[in-house]
Chain A
């Protein structure tokens, strides 16, 4: 199956700094990227959906100016958590959608800890 990678796999940062998470689809064209956030012992909550070359669509309650999403190519999408605070500490997972068979693949996730 297709491979979707995320970088970094984990990151620790100080409160107030920004963190960029990359999601790459390695062998298929991801026309749509979904970004999820998962707090401990909770479900995956969709944050936003982005189509290549278009602005992301954010779910209700997700601040678009705080969680910047870029999907400039069919193989790369980035999520930037700006001015991170401890409450942003979570597991962030991308899900790439696309390809001839409309395939769907999750990235391995990024554990963000904000001190």
Chain B
């Protein structure tokens, strides 16, 4: 089955700096890679996703890049704000295969004033 690794486990940045979180996946058949933000005690919220036919996607301050050959994908947050502080999870799945998401281990992002 799929295995997703995520680094770093914790990340502390100053407000206004950029944050980068990296994930690797094992199953070359995976073709959908969402990123979730989870605040304490709440459900994960989809913040951005990318499909395997695209190398990069951007939505305002958030961007995701995908390297299919290396089986890497990364989340980039620019101009970080205190409200970006949360746990971020990457995930991977093969769409049409039941959409069984495999999650990374999570990154605790802290944006300091």
Contacts and interface: CB of A to CB of B under 8 A. Distances in A.
Contacts of A44: 44, 89, 103
Interface stretch (B50-58, B60-68, B74-82, B93-101): B93-101
B85 interface: no
* Most chain B beta-carbon contacts within 10 A, residue among A32, A43, A97, A108: A43
Interface of A: 32, 34, 41-46, 49, 91, 93, 95, 97, 102, 104, 106-109, 111
Contacts of B103: 43-45
A38 to B, nearest CB: 9
Contacts, number: 41
Interface of B: 41-46, 89, 95, 98-106, 108
Contacts of B98: 32, 49
A95 B99 CA distance: 10
Given A32-B99, A34-B101, A108-B43, 19 more contacts: A32-B98, A34-B100, A41-B108, A42-B106, A43-B103, A45-B103, A49-B98, A49-B100, A91-B41, A93-B44, A95-B101, A97-B99, A102-B95, A102-B99, A106-B44, A106-B45, A109-B41, A109-B43, A111-B41
